[in-house]
């Protein structure tokens, strides 16, 4: 299967999970197109000052892989600044949040795998 960018579904979510601003989600592959145990494979964009609020992952895990920009990530009580090439894995009941703490857009790939 090949999929062009123009054929990928785009969601804009305000104050996602209690966060700030608009979260732009470009669904790279939709859940319905997958046969594996995944519910999201997307490219996420957060403008400066925007965030996705703290939320848990029960029965699943989520990977953030940073493409560009600077992020402040809270992962199960630990907070770190991360940037391009860095990754975060959260799951098994843990919580996390992510905020753009830079001056330009924050772009990352998010993958949610279910158990």
Res 107 pLDDT > 90? yes
Beta bridge partners of 111: 41, 63
What's the CATH number of domain 7-114, 3.30.70.3280, 3.40.190.10, 2.60.120.10, 3.40.50.720?
2.60.120.10
Percent of the chain with pLDDT strictly greater than 70: 100
Is residue 105 over pLDDT 90? Answer: yes
54 vs 58: CA distance, rounded Å: 13
Place of tokens 């703490």: 101
The tokens for 84 are 């391009």
Q: How far apart are CA 67 and CA 92, in angstroms?
A: 25
* Cβ–Cβ under 8 Å, residues 72 and 78: no
Whether residue 35 is predicted with pLDDT greater than 90 in this model: the reply is no
Predicted structure pTM score: 0.95
Number of H helices and E strands in the chain, helices first, is 0, 10
């Amino acid at each position: 299967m090949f999929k062009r960018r123009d054929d990928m579904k785009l969601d804009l979510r305000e104050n996602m999970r209690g966060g700030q601003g608009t979260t732009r989600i470009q669904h790279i592959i939709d859940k319905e197109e997958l046969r594996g145990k995944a519910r999201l494979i997307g490219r996420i964009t957060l403008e400066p000052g925007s965030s996705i609020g703290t939320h848990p992952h029960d029965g699943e895990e989520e990977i953030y892989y940073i493409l560009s920009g600077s992020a402040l990530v809270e992962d199960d009580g630990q907070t770190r600044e991360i940037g391009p090439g860095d990754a975060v894995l959260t799951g098994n009941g843990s919580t996390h949040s992510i905020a753009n703490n830079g001056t330009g857009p924050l772009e990352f790939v998010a993958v949610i795998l279910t158990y």
